């Protein structure tokens, strides 16, 4: 077998290379052409169709693996992650924690356990994906190797993730839906129910597909499943993970020409289990492969070629006639045609949205009025000055969403079932505004006073704002004081991404308040501004590097870089280098960059130091103290909901008058 590894830079025509290989085949048999993503698959198909090459088999790696599972008679329900997250994972997590607790493992190793809430369960799902994709299960008998492999990529303890995965695999093999109608109603299934008429039991997630196939291929030789191909080529090889490599190694026996095409500097998925250095070296050694480099670009000009080449320490030769201009973003001069802003990650993207809101008059595709920062200020205003909310104001429609934001904070220790009941109570269609206010009153009165449902520092800080008149006070001062009293900055040092994004929205709003110098009392007017600046489909697109990957733009804005646009601010890691390299090489003609103030740069380590210095108690441990100890509020909430439904309730003129005690 002849194997070739093609290392090409961004814009070098890597997909075109595979197309030319397929076109050069003498054999009439189809080639097998694999991609990592569906986007990559569709792009490769379009390239082949332009050349009149429609007979080749083009699939994603997961798509091929799934078809082989069906041939092996291992078809199962293919569930969506959200359904498993909501209906299956909470019970498995509790079972796993109980097992580790009663075995003494948690206490012996001083392991912290995250609360079972939506945010931490999402992090657990991420951890399970990483553990599986990195093929860590091969080293279950050697914990030291496991810790070397996972590094700092998990939120939950590795042994907890391992136990949950073990229980998960055991559970899903015999699973059957209790209620098929509910499964369809909650959109938990890929495809239609009729597609699964021949499934007796069991489910898998898309991220389980390759794992399940590799396990079955231990007893089922792959040569009995698929024929030989004159060419097997893998595009986007830099994004594949160690588990997929196990499958590709088996697949390589079905061809005499095995080709992988990728760019090791475009790997940003190490969090998902991909380790490009290891994968590229493994390809060279496992298959005794040749290596060819494509160091030219058909996308961007000399300026950007030189900058990108400096980033990856490899010369890039531009093959286009146009130049790519690189200049600092100027809100007053930069063309209105620039509609894309690229940031390093989701946290910085939130910062970018508020920066552009403050510094420009451009509209956005993203409604900032749903962000955590806006929600908290709205709730403060609701509870402090309910009379000052104009009738039928936009703020009324936001209250249910903002109420939900409050109970999703890491400072709220309600169990998920109680939260879900509150969600349903406040989200009922056409429920009067004043009715939702009464539910908020019930919640705050019973849970903020004489209860362990909320973090005490957060509650005490919250209540302090009922001691003075805030209407004429500058919003920046109100937010700064609230932040210090509640130690809201603890959200930044929280391990969960959703809370970090929430903190970023708070910082962005505070900077806007400082720059535009408005008062707390003017908040309804400020919300009107947020509403006017949202324009779905017509405003600016805010993309992370991950979202921009695989795309190209005539012009774009890069947010959060240093003064010379040589890297993302505060980044010295290989991942940060790769993110910056991908971001700049998306642009063909005009790259604008924003070297923003320090306040807009998220520094988790800095917030962690502040958190540790001022810590008054852990937010992350499950304990008796943090659990809800009173059912009064939930009972009152149910009573109010029933009365509202029966239309028997008499609303107060000021439904929140009892908040000030």
Helices and strands per DSSP (H, E), number in the chain: 28, 15
Encoded tokens for 275: 């380790």
pLDDT at 431: 74
Q: For domain 2-74+209-294, which architecture applies?
A: 3-Layer(aba) Sandwich (3.40)
Encoded tokens for 588: 């063909």
**DSSP at 326:** E
pTM (2 d.p.)? 0.84
Domain 302-362+536-600, CATH number (from 3.20.20.70, 3.40.50.300, 3.40.1640.10, 3.30.365.10): 3.40.50.300
- Inter-residue contact 369 to 534 (CB < 8 Å): yes
Report mean pLDDT in 10-residue bins for the chain, 661 residues. 95 95 92 94 94 95 96 95 93 95 90 84 92 80 64 84 95 90 87 90 96 95 94 95 94 96 89 73 94 96 96 96 95 85 96 96 94 94 81 79 90 83 78 79 79 87 83 95 91 83 96 96 94 92 94 96 93 90 97 93 69 43 36 52 47 40 35
pLDDT at 386: 78
pLDDT at 424: 81
- DSSP secondary structure, 589-647, as one string: EEEEEE---GGGS--HHHHHHHHHHH--S-SS---TTTS----HHHHHHHHHHHHHHHT
Encoded tokens for 264: 């090791």
Query: H or E stretch including 262?
Result: strand 257-262
Q: Which residue has the tokens 């136990």?
A: 163
Residue 291, phi then psi, degrees to nearest 5: -135, 130
The 10s digit of each residue's pLDDT in 209-242 is 999 999 999 999 999 999 999 999 999 999 999 8
pLDDT at 57: 96
Q: Residue 564: CB partners within 8 Å, gap ≥ 6?
A: none
Give the residue range(s) of CATH 3.40.50.300 domains in the chain: 2-74+209-294, 302-362+536-600
**DSSP at 550:** T
Annotated binding-site residues for ATP read 8-15
Annotated binding-site residues read 8-15
Residue 421, Cα to own-chain centre: how many angstroms?
A: 26
pLDDT at 273: 60
Encoded tokens for 564: 């010379």
Encoded tokens for 267: 């790997």
Angle at 545 between CA 233 and CA 366, to 5 degrees: 130
Residue 544, phi then psi, degrees to nearest 5: -85, 170
Question: Given CA atoms 292, 552, 51, 240 in this order, what sign does their dihedral have?
Answer: positive
Distance, in Å, from the CA atom of 467 to the CA atom of 239, rounded to the nearest integer, reads: 55
pLDDT at 661: 35
């Amino acid at each position: 077998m002849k194997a070739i590894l093609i290392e090409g830079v961004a814009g070098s025509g890597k997909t075109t290379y595979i197309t030319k290989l397929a076109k050069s085949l003498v054999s009439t048999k189809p080639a097998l052409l694999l991609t990592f993503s569906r986007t990559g698959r569709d792009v490769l198909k379009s390239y082949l169709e332009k050349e009149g090459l429609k007979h080749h088999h083009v699939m994603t790696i997961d798509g091929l693996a799934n078809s082989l599972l069906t041939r092996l008679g291992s078809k199962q329900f293919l569930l969506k992650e959200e359904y498993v997250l909501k209906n299956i994972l909470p019970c498995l997590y509790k079972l796993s924690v109980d097992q580790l607790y009663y075995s003494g493992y948690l206490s012996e190793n001083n392991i912290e356990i995250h609360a079972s809430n939506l945010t931490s369960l999402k992090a657990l799902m991420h951890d399970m994906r990483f553990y599986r994709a990195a093929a860590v299960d091969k080293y279950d008998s050697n914990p030291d190797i496991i810790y070397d492999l996972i590094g700092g990529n998990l939120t939950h303890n590795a042994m907890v993730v391992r136990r949950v995965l073990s229980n998960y695999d055991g559970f899903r093999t015999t699973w059957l839906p209790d209620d098929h109608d509910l499964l369809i109603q909650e959109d938990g299934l890929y495809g239609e129910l009729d597609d699964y008429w021949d499934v007796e039991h069991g489910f898998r997630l898309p991220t389980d597909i390759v794992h399940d196939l590799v396990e079955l291929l231990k007893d089922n030789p792959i040569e009995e499943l698929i024929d030989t191909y004159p060419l097997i080529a893998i595009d986007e090889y830099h994004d594949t993970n160690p588990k997929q490599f196990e499958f590709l190694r088996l697949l390589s026996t079905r061809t005499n020409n095995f080709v992988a095409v990728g760019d090791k500097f475009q790997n940003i998925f190490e969090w998902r289990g991909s380790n490009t250095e290891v994968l590229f070296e493994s390809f060279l050694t496992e298959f005794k492969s040749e290596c060819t480099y494509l160091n030219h670009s058909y996308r961007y000009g000399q300026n950007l070629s030189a900058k990108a080449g400096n980033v990856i320490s490899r010369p890039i030769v531009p093959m286009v006639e146009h130049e790519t201009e690189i200049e600092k973003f100027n809100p007053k001069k930069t063309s209105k045609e620039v509609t894309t802003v690229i940031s390093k990650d989701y946290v910085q993207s939130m910062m970018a949205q508020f920066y552009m809101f403050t510094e420009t008059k451009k509209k956005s595709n993203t409604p900032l009025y749903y962000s955590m920062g806006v929600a908290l200020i709205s709730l403060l205003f609701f509870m402090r000055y309910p009379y000052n909310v104009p009738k039928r104001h936009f703020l009324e429609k936001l209250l249910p969403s903002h109420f939900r934001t409050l109970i999703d904070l890491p400072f709220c220790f309600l169990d998920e079932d109680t939260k879900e009941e509150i969600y349903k109570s406040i989200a009922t269609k056409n429920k009067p505004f004043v009715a939702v206010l009464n539910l908020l009153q019930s919640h705050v009165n019973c849970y903020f006073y004489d209860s362990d449902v909320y973090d005490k520092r957060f509650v005490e800080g919250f209540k302090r704002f009922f001691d003075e008149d805030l209407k004429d006070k500058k919003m920046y001062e109100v937010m700064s004081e609230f932040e210090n009293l509640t130690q809201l900055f603890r959200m930044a040092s929280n391990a969960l991404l959703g809370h970090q994004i929430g903190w970023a929205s708070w910082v962005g709003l505070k900077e806007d308040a400082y720059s535009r110098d408005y008062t707390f009392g003017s908040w309804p007017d400020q919300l009107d501004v947020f509403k006017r600046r949202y324009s779905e489909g017509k405003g600016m697109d805010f993309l992370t590097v991950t979202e921009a990957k695989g795309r190209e733009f005539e012009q774009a804005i890069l947010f959060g870089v240093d003064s010379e646009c040589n890297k993302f601010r505060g980044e010295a890691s290989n991942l940060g280098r790769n993110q910056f390299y991908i971001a700049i090489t998306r642009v063909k003609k005009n790259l604008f960059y924003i070297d923003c103030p320090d306040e807009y740069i998220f520094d988790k380590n800095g917030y962690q130091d502040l958190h540790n210095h001022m810590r008054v108690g852990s937010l992350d441990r499950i304990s008796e103290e943090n659990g809800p100890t009173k059912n009064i509020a939930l009972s009152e909430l149910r009573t109010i909901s029933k009365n509202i439904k029966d239309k028997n309730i008499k609303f107060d003129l000021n439904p929140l008058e009892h908040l000030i005690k």
